[in-house]
Amino acid sequence: MRGKASLAACALAFRVLSLEAQASARDISNGEGNVGTPIEAPRTSPATDVSPEKEPETDDEIPDDDAFGPRSNLRTRAEQVSFDARERTLELSGNVRIDSPPFHLRSPRIKLTRTRLGIELVGKGSLAFCPCLGTPLKVDFDEAVVAPPGDFILKNPTLRVYNVPILPLPYFWLRSDDKAGALPPEIAYRGQDGLFVGAGAHVPWRQRGEKRALDVRFGAYLFRGIAAEVRFRTPSSVAKLRYDRLPAGAGVTPGNVSRDDGLFVDARGAVTNGELGLAWDADVVRGARGVASTTDLDAASQRWDRASAEAALRSGPLVVATSMRAVARRGGALTNVDAVGPVATVRSSGAAFDFFTYDTTLEGGSLRLVTPNGTPNASPNGASSESSDAMSFARAEAGGHVTTSLSVFEVSLALRFAANVAARGRRRSGDRAESVRALFKVPLGRRFGSAESGAREDARDPWLHVVEPFAEAAAVHATGDGMFGLSPARGAFGINGSALIAHAGLVSTLGRWGARDALELSVSGGGVGGGTFEASRMRPVARARAAGSTAWLGVSADAARAFVSSLDDGTGEAFAVVARLRLGPRDGLHLSSHVASRGDLDPVLARALVDAPLEPAAGFLTDAGTTGGAGIVVPWSRWVTTSAGADFDITRRELVGARAGLELSDRCGCLTLRVLGAHRLGRDGVDVGLALDFASDR
C-alpha cells in the first residue's frame, strides 16, 4: 500500500512511527556494581538483510520485549548496550538502528529513558523512511520523544533531501493516521492562478472496526482568492469536494453567482445488506471557475455533470433499482440544475447454455426541467418554453453474444441495441443505435516445442501459430435528434447514419499464452455501403489490424480505407485509423504514441470499420481530422527517471496538452519524489506539482 503527499509535503508529510514502548518492570544490573537481579548476556545474532549492505555480524540485537514491553513493534540493534537500573535508562552506541517500518532511526550513540510522556531519546540521530543507505529524504534531530501509541516529537529537526538541509524547525510533532492532527501544508504554483498556500486537519475514527477519515483543507491564492477542500474516506466509499473562488471578472452581472466561483464534487460508494444495496455516484464540476481551475483535460472537456443515488434489490441475475438523478451542463452556475427527477431501472445479465451471454437494461423516469435562472417552463437548450416543465424519458439497452462450433468452423454472433425516448408536452424526441456482427472462421494451429522437453519452459508454455481464414458481415445504424439537447441517461449519440460491411481475410497469430507474449496480424478486403455512399451500391474496402504484446513491444492498430469514385458525395480520402504503440519495456526506456484519424467517411461507417463502441465517447471519431500524441520515459538510473509527452490536434495545428516529470527514488523503492509540470488546452500557464510516494510496507 502506498500513500501520497502533496506539493511541499516533502518538508512535513511523514507517517508517524507507531511505538507502543513500555519500560521493563524488572530491575537488572548493568554490570558496573549496581545491586539487582543479574542481567543475562545480550542475545547475539546475525543481522537481517534489510538494506543492500549487511550489518556487522557482531551486532547485539536487543530483545524487543525486554527493552520496551511485550507489545513493542521495534527492532533495535547496536554494537554496545548498557542499562542503568537506578536511572532506568538504556544506552546504545555504535551503529545504532531502531526500525519500525516504514520508519528507520539511525544514530552513533543514543540514550533511551522512560518518562511520563513515553520513551525519550537523547542523542543526535536521523529518521529515514527506508532501510536503504542513501535514502533521498531524512530528518536529523537532537532529541526525540516517542509517545505511544502514535506520537513522535522531534527537537531541532532538519529536513534533508540527499543530505542537503532544506527546512530547520525548533520542534515537530508527527502523528499516525489513526490519530487526529494537522495535515502537511500545501504549497503549489497553479499556472494562471498563481501561488497557492494551504493547511488542513485530519480526523480519523473507527466504526464497527472499520477505519474512517475526514480531511479538511483551507488555503488562499496569494492576495487573490480562496479554496477549501473536504475529503472523506471509508472502506466502501470516497468523496472529494472542493470549492474554489477568485475575484469576479469583468462582465459578471450583479445578482448572479460569480462566474469565478467553482465547485468540484467527485463522490462514489456503495453499501450492501444482503440482497439490498445502496449506491451513489457524483461527477460534478460547476461554474466557469470550476472548469478553468481543473488541470484534468478529460474533466474539463466533458459536457455533462451527473449525480445519482440508487437503492437496488438483487435476486439472482435480476436487479431492480430506483434512483434520484440530476443532470446539468458542465460549467454552469453553482445553483443551476438542468433536470432532476426519479428513475426506475431493471437490469439483468448472465450466461446460458455455455455459449450465450447477455445483458439488458431498462430504465425510465420523469425529470423536472429548470432554466438557468431557476424557473421552469423553458427548454434547457434555450428554445422557447413549453406548457409542461417536465420531461419523461425511457432508455433500453441490450446485448447478446453467441459463440459455438459447427464442424471445423467457429461461429460467433454479436448483437447490440441502445435507445433513448423522451417526451415533453406534445414534443417527442429519440436516439437509438443498433449493431449486428456475424463471424465465421476456421482456426488452424501449429505448436512449436518438443513433447520430450519435460518440464522445460517451452513445454509448459509453447509457442503457438494460429492461422484463421475468416468472413465477417456487420451492420450498424444510429439516428437521433439529441433529446432536446439534454442527456438524462448515458448520452445522446450525436451521430446519424447506417453502415454495411462484408469482408473476408486472414488472421495470423503467434504467441505464448502463459507469458502473454503474442503478435497478431489481420488483413481483409470486401465492400461497404451506407454513410455518404449511395445505399444501392457497395464500395470496395481494405482493412488491416495489428496487435502485439511482448516485453519490448505493445501495439494496437486498426485501419480501413474505402475506395470511392468521383460519383460519390465524398471527394476526399475515405479512411479511418486508430492506433497505439509502445517501443521498449514498460519499466525501462520506452516510447509511446497514439493517433485517431477520420477522413471523408460518415462517422457511423468510420466507427464500424474500426470496431469502436456502439455509443461514441468524448466525440471519438465524430469529427473529421487527426488527433494524436507521443511520450517518452527515460530511466537514467535506478534513482532518476524523467518523462515527457504531448497531445496535439494535428488538423487544427493546436496543442491539446503537454506534460513533463522527474522522479527521484531510493534504491529500495521505499520512497519516490515526483516533480510534475503540465499545460492543457483552455488553461493558461503551466501547473507545477510535487508529490511524495511512500511504500509503507517496508
Residue range 539-582, pLDDT digits in tens:
888 999 999 988 888 999 988 888 876 445 555 578 888 899 99
Specify the pLDDT at position 172.
Answer: 80
Tell whether the model's pLDDT for residue 62 goes beyond 50.
no
Give me 108's grid cell: 552513533
Confidence of residue 100 (pLDDT cuts 50, 70, 90): low
Residue range 627-675, pLDDT digits in tens:
899 999 999 987 889 999 999 998 888 898 899 999 887 777 677 778 8
Tell whether the model's pLDDT for residue 115 goes beyond 50.
yes
Q: Which helix (H) or strand (E) holds 605?
A: helix 603-609
Confidence of residue 362 (pLDDT cuts 50, 70, 90): very high
Tell me the one-letter amino acid at 4: K
- Minimum mean pLDDT range among 44-53, 453-462, 477-486: 44-53
Q: Where are the beta strands (DSSP E) in 148-260?
A: 151-155, 158-161, 164-168, 171-175, 181-190, 195-207, 210-221, 225-234, 237-245
Tell whether the model's pLDDT for residue 8 goes beyond 60.
no
Which residue bears the cell 511482448? 550
Specify the pLDDT at position 28.
Answer: 26
pTM above 0.75, yes or no: no
* Alpha carbon 574 to chain centroid, angstroms: 36
- Alpha-carbon span 129 to 123, nearest angstrom: 19
Specify the pLDDT at position 188.
Answer: 80
Percentage of residues in the chain having pLDDT higher than 90: 22
Residue range 221-242, pLDDT digits in tens:
887 788 999 999 998 999 999 9
Confidence of residue 694 (pLDDT cuts 50, 70, 90): low
Domains of the chain: 17-176 (2.60.450)
Tell whether the model's pLDDT for residue 21 goes beyond 70.
no
Confidence of residue 267 (pLDDT cuts 50, 70, 90): very high
Q: Is the distance from CB of 237 to CB of 270 less than 8 angstroms? A: yes
- Alpha-carbon span 2 to 698, nearest angstrom: 10
Tell whether the model's pLDDT for residue 9 goes beyond 90.
no
Residue range 170-186, pLDDT digits in tens:
888 777 677 788 887 78
Tell whether the model's pLDDT for residue 195 goes beyond 80.
yes
Q: Is 458 helix (H, G, I), strand (E, B) or coil?
A: helix
Higher pLDDT, 127 or 365: 365
- Segment 79-107 shows an average pLDDT of 81
Q: Is the distance from CB of 587 to CB of 600 less than 8 angstroms? A: no
Specify the pLDDT at position 408.
Answer: 83
Confidence of residue 411 (pLDDT cuts 50, 70, 90): very high
Give me 304's grid cell: 455533462
